[in-house]
Amino acid sequence: MKKLLLSLLLIPSLSHAVGNISAVNIESIYVRESRTDIYLKQPTNISCANKQRLTILNGEYPNSDAMLSLAIAAHASGKKITAYVGVCHDGLGKVTAINMTEH
């Protein structure tokens, strides 16, 4: 019984939203102290609470700065991005990979 209760308590904390995000336009980018939020013009197909925002956690990955640079370049040039989200973080999809597309 304890194992069942423990497993039920852990399920919500996992908060998986694994998946690729189809090409979307960036509305704006907001740089915070510990993360960068990317506001999107279209909702995504991820299962996080907020489907129109992604986040890049500063310094979590060696390429966090490169992902932010790519997002800024895509926004400045009007190009779309695709991304890979591994989990939800504060209701937002946490980006682990990002790509700029032509359309």
Please check whether residue 39 lies inside any domain of the structure: yes
- Specify the number of domains making up the chain: 1
Please check whether residue 6 lies inside any domain of the structure: no
Domain interval for residue 83: 15-101
pLDDT-derived band at 9, boundaries 50, 70, 90 = very low
For 13-54, write each residue's pLDDT tens digit: 444 557 889 999 999 999 999 999 999 999 998 999 999 999
Please check whether residue 2 lies inside any domain of the structure: no
CA distance linking residue 38 with residue 45, whole number of Å = 15
| CATH of residue 63 | 2.40.50.110
- Mean of the per-residue pLDDT values of the chain: 86
CA distance linking residue 94 with residue 21, whole number of Å = 11
Residue 5 pLDDT > 50: no
Please check whether residue 23 lies inside any domain of the structure: yes
Please check whether residue 85 lies inside any domain of the structure: yes
pTM for this prediction: 0.80
